[in-house]
Structures are given as structure tokens and as C-alpha cells.
Amino acid sequence: MINKRYLDKVIEHLVRGTKIDYEKEQIHLPFYPNDDHPFSLKPGHPFGLYELLNSFFFTLPFHIRFENYCEKHFGLTILEFKFVKEGYFKNIDEKINAPA
């Protein structure tokens, strides 16, 4: 059984830990610790978040890193992880595309 309230808190924590620099058009992800190479917010950029979101299910190293982070820090099951992943990316997409 999914504890939706707990998973919503996990999503909130991940969203708060995601730093978006609109001026530099970069995003730093809490589960991707290499801050030396933030992801770009520019559409079409080869290392951009848009490409990352579109290919997330097919990018195994990235997917595994996010899943391992959620399991290690929050003790999530596979079903819970799927819920968190969808909620997290929906929230981040809304933050990125929110009118300034």
C-alpha cells in the first residue's frame, strides 16, 4: 500500500533540493551530485533537462542513480518510486515552465 502523504513529502523534498538558475539556464539535481556539470534548461541542448525528461525511461544510468537515491534516502519500493518519479518531474516541469 502506498503512503501517499509520505510520498508527497518525498516529492516536496526533491523539488526543494532541485536548484534552478533561470539566469544561467541551468538546473542542479539533488540525486545527481556532480554540480560541476549542471543540466541546461535550454530546449535542444544535448545535455538539457528537456532531453533528459524525454529520454528518462531509456537512460539507464540516470534512472538508476535517481532510483538508488530514492531507495537509499527514503526507503522507497519500486511502486513508490514510480509515483515519486512522476510527481517529481511533473513539479519540476511546472517550475521550469512557470511564467516569470
What mean pLDDT do residues 57-80 have? 82
pTM of the predicted model as reported, rounded to 2 decimal places = 0.77
Alpha carbons 31 and 25: distance in angstroms, whole number: 19
Query: Which residue range forms the structural domain that includes residue 26?
Result: 4-97
Give the number of domains in the chain. Answer: 1
What is the C-alpha to C-alpha distance for residues 58 and 61, in angstroms, rounded to an integer?
9
Is the pLDDT score of 64 beyond 90? no
pLDDT of residue 9: 97
Confidence (pLDDT) at 15: 93
Cβ 31 vs Cβ 70: under 8 Å: yes
**Measured at the alpha carbon of residue 91, what is the angle toward residues 85 and 92, in degrees to the nearest 5?**
90
* pLDDT of 47 above 80: no
